[in-house]
Amino acid sequence: MLCRAVAVELEVTKGLSKLLYSVESVYLGIVREVAAYAVEHNVTSAIQLRGLFYSKYRGEYPGLHSHLVIQAIRQASEIAKSFMERRRKGLAQKPYPEVRNVSIRFDETAWNYEQFIKSIAPVRIKLSLPNGQTEVWLRLHKRFWRYWWLVLNKEAGLRKTLIVKRRANKWYAVFVFEIKPKEGIPQSVVSFDINENTVAVGRIDIETTVDKVADWNRQYLTPQLYSIRTDFGRLARRYEKIRNTIIERLKQSFTLPNGKYANVTNTREFRKRVKRLRERVRKVGRVRYVANELTKTPAIIVTEELGDNPQESMIEDVGKDELRHRIKQTPFKALEKTVEGKALERGSKLFHVSSYRNSKVCPIHFVRLERTDDWHTLKCPLGHYVDRDYASVINMDWKLTPESWTKAFWWNMKQEMDWREYEQKSNPIIPYEIVQYIHAVLKTFVARLERCPAMLAQGDPMTRHRIQNEGGGEETSHALLGQGGGQ
Ligand SMILES: [Zn+2]
């Protein structure tokens, strides 16, 4: 089941705001107290904690809906559990979980769920607050209506628990929709690889390529290789510059008596100005754009297994500080998560392959590639150039095929691995016919490239703009596949 949380601002009068604040502070107090107790006494079961605390708080706060008390205790139990888990892993430094803010959970008895769900166009909710049932109007927006439409069509459900949350001085109701993943017949196999400024894509369209593959002289090269510009690195660099300018300007007004500067980045002024830059918003926008692009049609989406910290492993062999910073700014995980969510929503499936040597091996000759003085271009010992991104996405596709097990460059994998066993155990997502099809496509692709390997390079590295490491990229037009290929 796929979940989508949609926050809708509440129309709040002064009186109602006061009321909500008071509920929030009581609720927060309960969560804090119970969580601290749970950790100290090693009692994390919600039921046990309820037995210990319920009547106490009911007595203390008779105006608070009984189910809010129960929800607060439950929330405390969850917080305690995750805190203890973190502590076990050595990630928590403090003796108690620090609960700074809470979202108030109204279960179906504490708001008018039954009535709401029956409505065709709900515009307000009723919350059980200390002064009784209180009607609150919603500032509904397009996103909400989109999901509500799914509810009306029985393609989604609304979770019974409503979350009420404050951000700054505004109150929001968070509706959680549970969407049934679509079952789509895959129309293509799309592999992608995330880089600093681009996302490299290899696309095999299943229906339309059948005859194209047979016809060697056609303009098509399958998989189609292209890339989507994201400019995450460039974005990060630009904002870095703007931030530095702000710091310089603010420094003047934050000079200490001894002539030194206070740490400007801790000031309210700085935070206010940085917020206005909307860096995160723009990044999120680009992430969504890429996810949309990759999941347009139901597809089998193939990507590398990212570690917990993909940025770290990527910068291992990167020297410059500035570049390290930019790679850290590349939202690998966010992009992957968004693609995964969108994929499920639209009937695509995500398949992970190992990241082992994807961009280190020639996808035609299966020998180790050598570096050139251009980070993007690698050289095959058999005498041709290969674009790093292309190598990566084609090798990912190779890893879907039975042949991958016998290729020497994946020698760390068990060579005696039985394909049938593999098919059953680790590849339930991709039907065998499609695997065979991919295999055929790749073999044809390679046969064609063997005659004209230059198509795998993105131009002549001798004349291309040379920049060490990923610093370059500005001039890499991935649309260009050399003569005969692309488009
Ligand atoms: Zn080669």
More confident site: 362 or 39: 39
The pLDDT tens digits for 5-17 are 999 999 999 999 9
- Quote the pLDDT of residue 320: 60
Is the pLDDT confidence value at 480 over 60? no
Outline where 61-201 has alpha helix (H): 66-88, 113-118, 142-152
- Quote the pLDDT of residue 215: 52
Confidence of residue 216 (pLDDT cuts 50, 70, 90): very low
Is the pLDDT confidence value at 28 over 90? yes
Q: Which of 153-167, 172-186, 216-230 has the lowest average pLDDT?
A: 216-230
Distance 380 CA to ligand 1 centre (A): 5
Beta carbons within 8 Å of 95's beta carbon, 6+ residues apart: 39
DSSP string, 358-408: TTTB-TTT-SB-EE-SSTTEEEETTTEEEEHHHHHHHHHHHTTSGGGGG-G
User: Which amino acid, residue 274?
Assistant: V
If one counts every other C-beta atom within 10 angstroms of the C-beta of residue 420, the result is: 10
Q: Is 330 exposed, middle or buried (0-12, 13-18, 19+ CB in 10 A)?
A: buried
Distance 336 CA to ligand 1 centre (A): 30
Distance 230 CA to ligand 1 centre (A): 29
Whether the model pTM is above 0.85: no
Distance 381 CA to ligand 1 centre (A): 7
Distance 301 CA to ligand 1 centre (A): 26
Distance 391 CA to ligand 1 centre (A): 10
d(CA 382, CA 367) in angstroms, rounded, equals 9
- Quote the pLDDT of residue 407: 55
Distance 187 CA to ligand 1 centre (A): 30
Highest mean pLDDT among 38-42, 277-281, 469-473, 479-483 belongs to: 38-42
Phi, psi of 424 (to 5 degrees): -75, -45
Beta carbons within 8 Å of 299's beta carbon, 6+ residues apart: 186, 187, 188, 189, 190, 343, 348, 349
DSSP string, 212-232: HHH-TTSS--SSEEEEEE--H
d(CA 366, CA 371) in angstroms, rounded, equals 15
End-to-end alpha carbon distance in the chain: 37
Nearest to 20 by CA among 201, 144, 167: 167
Whether 175 and 165 have beta carbons less than 8 Å apart is answered as no
d(CA 97, CA 106) in angstroms, rounded, equals 23
Distance 302 CA to ligand 1 centre (A): 23
pLDDT averaged over the chain? Answer: 78
Mean pLDDT of 167-190: 86
Phi, psi of 199 (to 5 degrees): -120, 120
Show the tokens assigned to 424: 């059953």
Confidence of residue 405 (pLDDT cuts 50, 70, 90): low
Of all residues in the chain, what percent carry a pLDDT higher than 90? 26
Is the pLDDT confidence value at 161 over 70? yes
Whether 396 and 353 have beta carbons less than 8 Å apart is answered as yes
d(CA 46, CA 54) in angstroms, rounded, equals 11
Distance 395 CA to ligand 1 centre (A): 12
Q: Which of 44-58, 127-141, 344-358 has the lowest average pLDDT?
A: 344-358
